[in-house]
Chains A and B, each alone.
Chain A
């Protein structure tokens, strides 16, 4: 059983297109995240969602929009794709809360290539 899964694993598309990446977790966690890993391998938080509500939106262009239909799913929609959006996108989840172990678990990543 995969704890955090993402689809697709690879996504190749043209500039200007709109695309979505899906994420699902079966860990029963309340919080999910999207991270971006750039070409230099640097990982940075994009969004945090807790119980279907956006908690933190780091400095991310509004072409990126997270959507959470339920607490087990967090999808990432990207409009008007640009060359600079090419990266690996990771979904993660955790169960935060006082007295709880905040360990985050990551999905396998989606490699997005914009041509």
Chain B
């Protein structure tokens, strides 16, 4: 199966700092999503980004599919950004009617005031 690696595994930031999270994947993918799992366990969709760059407020993401990586950039971090950030990829070999996501191991972010 496809391997998805995220770095760093843990990150502690002072409020207001910027950070970049990385996701590497071992094979070509059809789609890629970034999620934030908040301290209550909810998985929140951040970006659907199979390629290119998107921005949403203080967050932005870039996927370079040909080089098999994606970056999530968090600017001016806030304590509410704390949680685990997951990258997940979809690889379709034979169309089955489903697009399973394969998750990375996550980056645990702690933002301290």
A contact residues vs B (CB 8 Å cutoff): 30-31, 33, 35, 41-45, 48-51, 53, 55-56, 58, 88, 90, 92, 94, 96, 98, 101-106, 108-109, 111
User: Does B69 make an interface contact (CB < 8 A)?
Assistant: no
Of B30, B37, B48, chain A has the most CB atoms within 10 Å of the CB of B37
Q: Which residues of B contact A44 (CB under 8 A)?
A: 103
Interface check B42, CB cutoff 8 A: yes
Nearest CB in chain B: distance from A51 CB, A: 7
Candidates B30, B35, B45; contact of A102 at CB < 8 Å: B30
Considering the chains assembled together, what is the distance between the CA atoms of A35 and B43 in angstroms? 12
In contact, B99 and A31 (Cβ under 8 angstroms): yes
Helix, strand, loop or mixed for chain A's interface? strand
Interface size on B, residues (CB 8 A): 25
16 residue pairs from A and B, CB less than 8 Å apart: A31-B97, A31-B99, A42-B106, A43-B103, A45-B102, A48-B96, A50-B96, A50-B97, A55-B97, A55-B98, A90-B43, A96-B97, A102-B90, A102-B99, A103-B31, A104-B99
How close is A59's CB to chain B, nearest CB, in angstroms? 11
Q: Tell me if B14 is interfacial: C-beta within 8 Å of chain A.
A: no
Query: Beyond A30-B97, A48-B98, is A103–B33 a contact (Cβ under 8 Å)?
Result: yes
Contact A108 B42 (CB under 8 A): yes
